[in-house]
Amino acid sequence: MTPREGANVDQIQWEGLRQQASSFTYCVIDQTAKAIATAIAVQLGGRFFFATARHVIENNHEIEVLPRDSVATGVSNFAARRYHEQLDIGLLELKSDAADRFTFADSGRLLTTMDTDKELPALVIGYPGQFIRSTETPLTSEYWLRICRCDALTYQSFVLPESEWPDNDSLREPLACGRDLLVDFHPEQRIRHLPPSTSVSGTLEVDCPALDPRGLSGGGIWLAQVEDRNGLRLPDVRLIGIQSRWHVDSGRLVAVRVGAWLDMVRRTWPELAALV
């Protein structure tokens, strides 16, 4: 099985990659700050996690993760909340009795090694705040039912080779080779809007300027590859990074490589070390 270059991925295969990656991607609501972010559902051994950015969960705020059913109540009671002391990565551990409401990527979907000397095709998936839509329905004269719909953004992009990174002197926060990823977020690429359901019907695909990525924090950077398998070219997406911040001037997203997140898991749960 040989990964192919992004230029050889056709639109049907891109759609397959999008469906794979988006099935593990969920909307996070900070009910205290009234903010939105993104998380990736990951299962390691018998534990269930939401991988996300540290700045999404480090405050002692009420955090809710929404399942894909837009009318369902989100999950806000977690077994653990952990984040890295220096890096912008964190996690929420989900209690096992709520795991059947989400779809989880296993360790085989997490890729820690890649060729950082060349441009890599990638998908950026997350929940920008401007995509939130809410409706309110009166139940009584005093109580209203509020339903929040959060649509995901899917962005076909590429990871820049480390040799093409800007000089750290020009950046507010320096980049570290082997730890960070720098991803293009310019308007000439293609943006797709994924409805809350996993159905392909109703998908809106438009060419438009890159949107404000606030809300994408904690979402995934996914390596877009197609594998040759018994004469068929099949989409096979891999999580390579967790979105951290946006360089407005350069039109770049910064992500922390998923290997750093796995290192944090190993330190916190040594019994999982053999699995990750």
Q: Report the helix count and the strand count for the chain, using DSSP H and E.
A: 3, 18
**Window from 11-20, 132-141, 159-168, 223-232 with minimum mean pLDDT:** 132-141
pTM of the model: 0.84
**Is residue 14 helix, strand or coil?**
helix
Give the chain's domains with CATH numbers: 6-275 (2.40.10.120)
pLDDT, residue 137, reads 67
| Statement: residue 71 has pLDDT above 90 | no
DSSP 8-state symbol, 210: P
pLDDT, residue 172, reads 75
Instruction: Give the DSSP letter string of 80-108.
Output: EEEE-SSSS-EEEEEPGGGGGGS--B-GG
What's the number of CA atoms in the CB half-sphere (13 Å) around residue 212?
9
| Statement: residue 185 has pLDDT above 60 | yes
Q: What is the pLDDT of residues 114-127, one digit of tens each?
A: 999 999 999 999 98
Question: How far does the chain reach from its first CA to its final CA, in angstroms?
Answer: 22
pLDDT, residue 44, reads 96
| Statement: residue 193 has pLDDT above 60 | no
Who has greater pLDDT, 99 or 187? 99
Q: What is the pLDDT of residues 24-68, one digit of tens each?
A: 999 998 888 778 899 999 999 999 999 999 999 998 899 999 887
